[in-house]
Amino acid sequence: MRRINPLPFAMALTAALAAAGCGGDAVGVPRAARSAPEPVDRSIASYLDRTLPKGPGGTVVAARGTELVHCKGFGLADRTAGTPATCDTVHDVMSITKQFTAAAIMKLEMMGRLRTTDRIGTILGPVPADKRGITLHHLLTHTAGLAEGLGDDYEPVSRDEMLAKALKSKLVSRPGEEFHYSNTGFSVLAAIVEKVSGTSYERFLAKYLFAPAGMTRTGYVLPKFSRSEVSVEYDEDGASQGRPFDHPWAADGPYWYLRGNGGMLSTGRDMFKWHRALLGDTILSAAAKAKMFEPHARIPKTEAAYGYGWGVLHTKDGRVAWHNGGNDWSFASYSRILHDGTMVYWVTNQASQAGQWNLEERELEMNQALADRARDAD
């Protein structure tokens, strides 16, 4: 299964910034989504009407600091049922999941349970000689040298099986020497969260990250999503690929080639709440956030770097933190301009239509346009 990494966006974002100097009562919409207001910015709505092709469904969110400027669906979340997408439609956020995993590690460090400088062997037990130098910092910054992936996302692999295969795998570079985007590394981090905390990865996130942020509709299985509120995904021919949990999942979420590095389900409203929480110090301290958004590892062939679960880019206006995610069908992008608190998040349940359009290729344009309009919103 194809996975998206942030490198193409980093390259485009670098070039562009350098040059730049309501839900109704439709059948199938969950009651909670129908009753919650959907803020709409007219400038953003007009831009999206001109920009988005006919066919895909999704959600667009824009915020200015703690103010939710726009949170609105477009198209259909389920074409067969005729269910419109809304601010509260549940989507797979894909590799944006990595920032939650990174935040969990930072939370455990705040709790005194680990340090990002710890070698993985101190937590996982004896590891092969070539991996003894790998630290949590290396995993968080994609510099551990682990391969991008170990197998198909939906292969029924347990945590311990994933760890065994990761530790036996051949390194693509020596620990700490080079940046190599690695989904495997973030699955290892999720396993470390479990071993250190003594609870499951999702339960740790739910208790220490999501609940304090007011995020009640984010997780794998704990929110108990109904089918009607979860978006169906579509391939480039418009054929249904079902909902994320229609693929092989364990009882407690995706199997371990996907867990921790992707597959998290969330709504646009909850992704705004995550942004709002990161503006304050309730979940993560200022020191923890400073480490998370520090440009630790340069991404090759770009002016961007990688922090802890976020891409980071210096601009004339300050630091931009971002990540995108995708699979063979959907695509999502999340961007935060740190100096003024502008946030943009959008997700689509069909990334492209063969020979006609490709929303992944419009990521930079959309992020820039949405951010500019969020700043100008009255």
Residue 377: the pLDDT is 73
pLDDT classification of 31: cutoffs 50, 70, 90? very low
What would you report as the CA-atom Rg of the chain, rounded to the nearest whole angstrom? 20
Kindly report, residue by residue over 312-334, the tens digit of the pLDDT: 998 776 789 999 999 999 999 99
How many CB atoms lie under 10 A from the CB of residue 4? 24
- The Cα–Cα gap between 58 and 331 comes to 10
- The Cα–Cα gap between 267 and 90 comes to 5
Kindly report, residue by residue over 50-92, the tens digit of the pLDDT: 999 999 999 999 999 999 999 999 999 999 999 999 999 999 9
- Region for residue 253 given its phi and psi (left: phi exceeds 0; alpha: psi -120 to 50; beta: otherwise): left
**Which domains, and CATH codes, for the chain?**
53-376 (3.40.710.10)
Residue 349: the pLDDT is 98
pTM of the entire predicted model: 0.92
- pLDDT higher than 50, residue 29: no
Determine the residue type at 260.
G
- The Cα–Cα gap between 154 and 187 comes to 13
- Region for residue 260 given its phi and psi (left: phi exceeds 0; alpha: psi -120 to 50; beta: otherwise): left
Instruction: Evaluate whether 201 touches 219 at the Cβ level (below 8 Å).
Output: no
Q: Which helix (H) or strand (E) holds 326?
A: strand 318-326
Kindly report, residue by residue over 217-275, the tens digit of the pLDDT: 999 999 999 999 999 999 999 999 999 999 999 999 999 999 999 999 999 999 999 99
- Region for residue 362 given its phi and psi (left: phi exceeds 0; alpha: psi -120 to 50; beta: otherwise): alpha
DSSP states of 128-197: -GGGTT-BHHHHHTT-S---S-SS-TTS---HHHHHHHHHHSPPSS-TTT-----HHHHHHHHHHHHHHH
Q: Which helix (H) or strand (E) holds 347?
A: strand 342-348
